[in-house]
Structure 1
């Protein structure tokens, strides 16, 4: 269900997943599938104003109410946009939380995570990767890949901190995962406006067709083409919502629930339906995400990000009078390779094919095949 072909099919012949935003009704008359509401037709139709932004803020806070009260909550915080917004929403909803960041002390994510926690008066824990006596790291890529596959039923390309846990510990965690709905889908595609959207969808989401058995991807190709009902941007956003957030990422994160209760506000159905109504241009440039952050805590919204800026001020401040505050939000970067260590981005000289396979394939047989090669 979380493999190379991200559509409504399953591993079982003739068995499909119920389409997005629909319900399956079985009664004495038989079986029918109905749309739950008109949400999919309302994607990218609302130009946000002050009133609608307040509604988004309230819906966002309500999204945390699924987390049990009086829980001891731990939330990961980095220098990015998603985790700081998740933390602010959690606090605004009335929860107590400790924070943590994984990485070396000179990693800007670690430094910014600690700064955010200190400004909010929260306890913060840093987990550093283990260093050998030779001041190096030994990373067994095969073991990491296999652990991830065992934990996620075959989902290789996910999160480096997902391991197989057989004992339920009962911890409560909140994450900023699955914020694609706030960002207009795949950020690297937000400026792509091809003359032929259907051809572009196949090009982007079926890039390794030449490695598959001839004809095996024909049905998936048709599915991708049919996902285009208006333009490419609308289609890639729907793909991000339904098949990245709704199936791929959620399937990967399910492994976390084997040992703990994990919550993310970005999976809340009501909040998601409010967000997808916003015109995509306000999502693509980070404006809505920044607006929510600012409404929850203006001081935190003014802190710099790691390796990026808010999209709407990427090249220059929005107003001349904001110039000095814009300069103060200069992105933070790692100064050494060690500081920027992240297994997801790890590339070893002479082993590029292995890393590419890890990123592209979700099937153990493919992985073993390329390891042998």
Structure 2
């Protein structure tokens, strides 16, 4: 994992103050949960110290990974993630007149920082899986790959303190109660924003801080025939195959998180088509569809398979980490922008084995359209209300008023964009905000590659009409092209959208019935302890949430929350996890060492 912070004085000839740089160097300990002695640091300073780039990496020097900073004395480049073709891409980005325009010609999953004596630029890729956060305070512009790092450095410039504490944008946290991630460019921290997808931040001496949003691809028409459809997916297929090329720089098999769904199966097909060896890895109870089907996929492709089986104890319980520890870890890792409902890895010694998953595959299927059956204007409007104003009855009037502003903006866009608005919203906020947190966590420990988030793949996917991707036919055709031997293996939970109606012709029905999806059979196969926990965990959740700082109740209505916390099993388990996360964030528990807390038992239904 490489972490960056770029700083530039607003006016030429003004150096960055020493205490601001010291605050930034100290803040790395709070910004990323990596032991301080594991960091390698690199810095670049312009003459006069008016522009400074700080970088940290926990990647081993002998792993063959990119340098933290590249370029020369006059201009320096650093980037998070990876480029599609490292050396020529680095040379292009260092020398290009327009950093954002150059980025839009490349593959890979990345965010870019480039500086010279006149200031700096920072750019996100189209997927924004590697985020950039920015702020301006005390006559200094800041851009970094970690929001806390940007915030604490900006607070030092604003307050004059070398050890400032965080200041929270409490009302902005309303979206965390609703969904457990941010559906905006806001962050938990006052004055810090996320740079948009395909965004370029320009910080030059003597001019205003500028954000440029680069254009997204234009969509073509829906194919009129099967032969035209196959031709239309060919550029996407080539981009997906090219997105697997970076795996070749490693001499170990790819560990692919494989499930029973479409997306990880398509990555397995692409790896197999490129003759890149991989190990299918899954976890769960032995009878869960993900476990059963992932093995069938691996076997069909001749790949190795392994499973971390969940054990059921003799007393019909499963033992889990204390929820406060889970929340402590995710706030540290995801900076208060992901919920403890999610499972995100913690720090471990860096392992250079390449890893991957099917994350981001919704882009090929229409984003939020993947689970949207009603695509009429009224149906789209109802989905917009869910995205921006869900759980309004649990929040305060002030929090709901803030949500209405965002809802009105996207309703206006929907009038022009139609169903495509749900695809773009998914890319901006589900991929660009929710997924960005877990992607960062993976980069901390492994050489992690996400082919579906590759900039070339995303651009080619967006060039296909949203209504066609909604049908799932493009993904079907990709699988047929890359690994036709997988066609007989059903999916977990759902058929292809275009294959849901029973055929009228009797001789086609048997084949259709053979494609029936595999469903959980009850017991452990469909058990999710995070949603069906018992009294022991419910008590822990209630005590922690109700002892939260008063700021939590500026956004959540305590009178409505209290009875929810008494329900066993909970009816709104997600909101309980989201509130727990905010409790840990606002109380600043996350800034302290993790407490010593016992594991908790969850009863499994018979």
- TM-score range relative to shorter protein: 0.7 to 0.9
Cα offset, 1:343, TM superposition? 4.1
RMSD: 3.0
Give the distance between the partners of 1:264 and 1:19, measured in 2 at CA.
Answer: 19
User: For the Cα contact (< 8 Å) 1:103–1:341, is it kept in 2?
Assistant: no
User: For the Cα contact (< 8 Å) 1:165–1:258, is it kept in 2?
Assistant: yes
Q: 1:47 aligns with which of 222, 230, 234?
A: 222
Q: Please identify, of 354-363 and 163-172, the stretch whose mean Cα deviation from structure 2 is larger.
A: 354-363
Cα offset, 1:237, TM superposition? 1.6
Give runs of aligned pairs for residues 1-373 of structure 1, distance below 5 A.
4=176, 5-27=182-204, 30=207, 31-39=209-217, 42=218, 44-48=219-223, 49-67=229-247, 68-140=249-321, 142=323, 143-154=325-336, 155-156=338-339, 159-160=342-343, 162-186=344-368, 187-195=370-378, 201-228=384-411, 229=413, 230-231=416-417, 233-317=419-503, 322-343=508-529, 345-346=531-532, 348=534, 350-352=568-570, 355-358=573-576, 360-361=578-579, 363-365=581-583
The structure-2 alpha-carbon separation of the partners of 1:92 and 1:200, relative to structure 1 and needing over 3 Å to count, comes to closer
User: For the Cα contact (< 8 Å) 1:74–1:172, is it kept in 2?
Assistant: yes
Cα offset, 1:288, TM superposition? 1.2
User: For the Cα contact (< 8 Å) 2:291–2:307, is it kept in 1?
Assistant: yes
Unaligned runs of 5+ residues in structure 1 are none
User: For the Cα contact (< 8 Å) 1:99–1:123, is it kept in 2?
Assistant: yes
Q: TM-score normalised to the size of structure 1? A: 0.85
More strand by share: 2
The structure-2 alpha-carbon separation of the partners of 1:243 and 1:347, relative to structure 1 and needing over 3 Å to count, comes to same
Q: Which has the larger radius of gyration?
A: 2
SS at match of 2:281: strand
User: For the Cα contact (< 8 Å) 2:380–2:422, is it kept in 1?
Assistant: no
User: For the Cα contact (< 8 Å) 2:366–2:466, is it kept in 1?
Assistant: yes
The structure-2 alpha-carbon separation of the partners of 1:345 and 1:64, relative to structure 1 and needing over 3 Å to count, comes to farther
User: For the Cα contact (< 8 Å) 2:327–2:584, is it kept in 1?
Assistant: no
Unaligned runs of 5+ residues in structure 2 are 1-146, 148-172, 177-181, 224-228, 535-566, 588-606
Deviations 1:302-334 (A, max 9, x none): 311111101100122497764332221111122
SS at match of 2:193: coil
The structure-2 alpha-carbon separation of the partners of 1:250 and 1:190, relative to structure 1 and needing over 3 Å to count, comes to farther
Deviations 1:246-284 (A, max 9, x none): 111121232122221222111111111111121222212
Map of 2:164 onto structure 1: none
Q: Please identify, of 111-120 and 348-357, the stretch whose mean Cα deviation from structure 2 is larger.
A: 348-357
User: For the Cα contact (< 8 Å) 1:79–1:108, is it kept in 2?
Assistant: yes
Cα offset, 1:80, TM superposition? 0.9
Cα offset, 1:243, TM superposition? 0.6
Figure out how many residues of one structure are paired with residues of the other and give that number.
365
Deviations 1:63-106 (A, max 9, x none): 22233342331112221111111111122233111112212222
Map of 2:110 onto structure 1: none
